[in-house]
Amino acid sequence: MIAALNRRQALAIGVSAATTAILGGSVLPAAAANDYEDLIKKFTGGKVPTVGRVKIDAPEIAENGNTVPMTIMVESPMTPASYVTEVLVVADGNPRAGVATFRFTPDSGIAEANTRIRLASTQWLHVVAKTNDGAFFMAKKEVKVTIGGCGG
Amino acid sequence: MATNVRPRIRLDKKQAKKGELVEVKALVSHVMETGQRRDASGKIVPRKILNKFVCTVNGKEVFAADFEPAVSANPYIQFKFKAQESGKVVLTWFDDDGSTIVGEESIAVS
Amino acid sequence: MISRREFVQVAAAVAALVPGGWSRSFAQQRMTQAELLKFNSVGNVTLVHVADIHGQLLPVYFREPTVNLGVGEAKGLVPHLTGRALLDHYKIPAKSQAAYALSAEDFAALAKSYGRIGGLDRIATILKSIRAERGNRVLFLDGGDTWQNSYTSLQTKGQDMVDCMALLKPDAMTGHWEFTLGEARVKEIVDTLGFPFLAQNVRDTEWNEPVFKSSVMLDRGGVRVGVIGQALPYTAIANPRWMIPNWSFGIREDDLRKEVANVRKDGAELVVLLSHNGFDLDRKLASRVAGIDVILAAHTHDALPEVVRVGKTLLVASGSHGKFVSRLDLDVRNGEVKDFRFKLIPVFADAIEPNAEMAAKIRSIRAPHEAMLGEVIGKTDTLLYRRGNFNGTLDNLICDAMLEERDAQIALSPGFRWGNSLLPGQSITREDIYNATAISYPAAYRLTMSGARLKEVLEDVADNIFNPDPYYQQGGDMVRVGGLAYTIDIGKPAGQRISGLTLRPRGEPIDPAKDYVVAGWASVNEGTEGPPIWDVTMNYIKRKGTVAPVEADHIRVLGS
């Protein structure tokens, strides 16, 4: 008997498991396009961040779009004179761009944090760091969200 | 209002030399409901996430984070702080509903 | 099959051709064990490497690909040269032993002369000989894809391979298909191996802590050698994640950098990466991670008769199915490789004496199953092979079987790179089918899929092979299709490579909105239902008696 392709079966062949599973059974009709650029502008007050000093350690291909490990690191002496205050993480392919903001102090000792995030599809992570003297630095990294299953 | 949820916390060392970095890993059970999902009847399930996290050592903030719905269920957080003095390491998560989840560890600094 | 005496004569005749390069030493050899193993040793360390044996205890026929396209910076480079271009590149005479072992040129004809290749009993002989010559300078490393993909390895959950490999006394191994045995079984085996299973790039999903040892330090020939292991970064994507739910993989380039620094700090004078990344990924990694002297590559099944140098790093690719043993002699002084010599030793089964102890072990493992495995279920009139980016006759056969046995319009078969070849006129046994299908998630599913989803599947798999950045490649070949024709432009970006999808044989265009009945196997998702693919394939062959799948022209390739 031929069954219609229900959701479980769609997952069984792996198709777009991530796209629908992650941000809900049905993603809200995207009222607006992903607003990552606006979030970055708001964070920097319109300043254009310098590329560099920021490193993103995330898998090139996600194993599970529901929980993608991600580490951000920013080069900084982390002294009261010179330290990273905030780091903004946005994703340009989710229905909403916001992911997380990390806040550091000189007592952090190092500007480094790791969390696990939801990615609805293949997209870029953009990470912008703010220093105590008002400078902004950034990096971006593409994470592929795939169906997999044919390697070997 | 603190809830009964007990976070799981791991410090890579219980004793540190002054100025040494201490790594903290923490996991907490939470659905992180995005507010973008519909239930079986088609109604939107309201957003309920942990939106903020703070770590203090002896009351002084050493690391904090704001979370959006794109942070995974059962949020994981890993970071470091610079050991300055012996004392209490307190981790607090803030829920959309106003409640908090609190975990505590101690560190001995020599 | 010709006798051994005649066979040596063929080899000698071929040897007369000889232009130069690697092939000269090779082609001039008569095909004797002594000649195959002949090596002008150098230095104080000898690395011996095998990889991607895929459960094959016995010698096999294995035809290398005719189509193995390189993209981005790898375009036109080895291992993406095939056939004539490969032979020309290494100055290998046509029809020589080397041509037979390394390319698909004249494969069926040469196979009749040169015979099968591989067999763990022959590999044991080679190792014994190298150890006798080089003593405590020898490091023997297994690159993984060892414990699965034959009947006995599936039936014993890898124990047959574990027991046989134990006789070879590896110094370390890493893995990929090993993980399809599931977390509990992998842990159980690793605990009893007696040598380390290395994987610096596997972490538990909860606390992000290493699951396996990252590296091991070994003293060989007065040299402190640091061996770091790297499992297939995409195991949890390419294979069922539900079997290894608590483990997370990835390239973890930064962690690798730290591990290289660690072993150097601990006094390593030679750093070896025992890798299951795949060749292109390793080539890129070698250009970005400093301090690795040798990368022993695996996964993509490339067999290269010479090392590839990237900066100071030497890359070795040792082929698959037990066809080759790599020997790399290194002269290590003051923490630097001053000199090296390499040979990719082809394991010609008719020329190399089986090791008695290993042969007896293999016989005892196979004895209970021998009669069943040897049962002839049909015959092939054409060469059955699997390797190639887009299709092979073996997968065409499996797709035909799924279309008919499962009454489907379209069949999908995974782009596995393992699976033995069968010569025209050869009988097909049960074992031959297991050798192409033995996996721990064999259900042949049947469901309906829209035309749009079909395209999505093809696009997604295509990007895993043809993404110009090797860090985004998974290895494996393109998913095989039956009942479907399409055009692929490998140079286009993700999502835009596939066009012209039509239903065979009549050629009506696939309608994105319409549903089609699709049969397939090796789904990575838990709970997939259907009969095991080997039953589907065997039933089909039994029904047909004789099969003759041909190299179909249903896939048009652009941009190569």
Q: Are C39 and C341 in contact (CB under 8 A)?
A: yes
Q: Given a cut of 90, is residue A1 above it in pLDDT?
A: no
Domain check: are C205 and C305 in the same one? yes
pLDDT of residue C409: 97
Q: Is C302 on the interface with A (CB under 8 A)?
A: no
Task: Note the pLDDT of residue C406.
Answer: 96
DSSP 3-state of A39? helix
How confident is the model over B44-97, as pLDDT tens digits?
Answer: 999 999 999 999 999 999 999 999 999 999 999 999 999 999 999 999 999 999
Task: Determine the Cα–Cα distance for residues C12 and C32; give it in Å rounded to an integer.
Answer: 11
CB C530 within 8 A of CB C510: no
Domains and CATH numbers, chain B: 8-109 (2.60.40.10)
Strand-pair partners of C378 = C428
Q: Is pLDDT above 80 for A142?
A: yes
Q: B81 and A115: CB-CB below 8 Å?
A: no
**What's C400's domain CATH number?**
3.90.780.10
Are the Cβ atoms of C208 and B27 closer than 8 angstroms?
no
**Nearest to residue C455, comparing CAs of C482, C487, C490, C477?**
C487
Count of C-beta atoms within a 10 Å radius of residue B46? 11
Nearest by CB to residue C248, choosing from A13, A17, A69, is: A69
* HSE-CB for C348 with a 13 A CA cutoff: 29
- Domain-wise residue ranges, chain A: 31-145
Are B69 and B49 contacting, i.e. CB atoms less than 8 angstroms apart? yes
Q: What is the DSSP letter of C8?
A: H
Q: Token digits for A142?
A: 């593409």
Which domain-ending residue is among C81, C114, C147?
C114
Contact C27, C98 (CB under 8 A): yes
- In angstroms, the separation between the Cα of residue B79 and the nearest Cα of chain C is 12
Residue C553 has what pLDDT? 86
Question: In terms of domains, do C127 and C159 share one?
Answer: yes
What's the rounded Cα separation, in Å, for the pair C557 and B109? 65
**Range(s) of the domain holding residue C102:** 1-30+65-114
Give start and end residues of each alpha helix (H) in A13-128.
Answer: 17-21, 36-44
Predicted local distance difference test score (pLDDT) of residue C136:
97
On whether both C108 and C120 belong to a single domain, the answer is no
Q: Are residues C357 and C258 in the same domain?
A: yes
Q: How many CA atoms within 13 Å lie on the side-chain side of C502?
A: 13
> Which residues from A are below 8 Å from B77, CB to CB?
113-115
* Minimum CA–CA partner of B8 in chain C: C207
Same domain, C236 and C249: yes
Residues of chain B found within 8 Å of residue A25, distances taken between Cβ atoms: 37-38
Give yes or no: residues C385 and C476 share one domain: yes
Chain A residues with CB under 8 Å of C239 CB are: 149, 151-152
Q: Which of residues 175-194 of C touch A (CB under 8 A)?
A: 176-177
Closest CA to C68 of C388, C345, C344, C294: C388
- Whether residues C435 and C550 fall in one domain: yes
Task: Flag if C447 and A3 touch (Cβ within 8 Å).
Answer: yes
Domain count, chain C: 3
* Torsion sign, CA atoms C438, C439, C441, C446: negative
Low-confidence ranges of chain C (pLDDT < 70): 1-30
Is B76–A25 a contact, with Cβ atoms under 8 angstroms apart?
Answer: no
Q: Could you tell me which chain B residue has the CA closest to the CA of C207?
A: B25
Size of interface A-B (CB pairs under 8 A): 113
pLDDT of residue C334: 93
CA dist., res. C302 & res. C83, Å (int):
13
Q: Is C284 exposed, middle or buried (0-12, 13-18, 19+ CB in 10 A)?
A: buried
State how far the alpha carbon of A94 is from the alpha carbons of A99, A123, B70, C502, in Å. 9, 8, 8, 33
Q: Which of C471, C509, B104, C107 shows the shortest CA–CA distance to A59?
A: C471
Same domain, C48 and C76: no
For C430, the enclosing helix (H) or strand (E) is: helix C430-437
Which of the four pLDDT bands, split at 50, 70 and 90, describes residue B4? confident
Q: What is the DSSP string of B10-58?
A: EES-SEE-TT-EEEEEEE-----B-S--B-TTSPBPPPB-EEEEEEEET
**Last residue of a domain, which of C325, C348, C364?**
C364
Q: What's the gap in Å between the CA of A12 and the closest CA on chain C?
A: 5
Q: What is the mean pLDDT of residues A63-84?
A: 97
Q: Considering only the top CATH level, what class is A31-145?
A: mainly beta
Q: Nearest residue on chain C to A60, judged by CA atoms?
A: C472
pLDDT digits (tens, 9 = 90+) for A31-70: 457 999 999 999 999 999 999 999 999 999 999 999 999 9
Contact at CB, B68 and A102, closer than 8 angstroms: no
* pLDDT at position A152 over 60: no
**What value of ipTM does the predicted structure carry?**
0.95
- Check whether residue C401 and residue C513 sit in a common domain: yes
**CA-closest candidate to residue B63, choices B49, B90, B81, B45:** B81
Neighbours of chain C (3+ CB pairs under 8 A): A, B
Q: How far apart are CA C399 and CA C557, in angstroms?
A: 20
Residue of B nearest to A117 (CA): B71
Q: Does B77 reach chain A within 8 Å, measured CB to CB?
A: yes
Mutate to test the interface with B, among C203, C204, C207, C209 (most CBs of B within 10 A): C207
**What is the mean predicted confidence (pLDDT) over A93-102?**
96
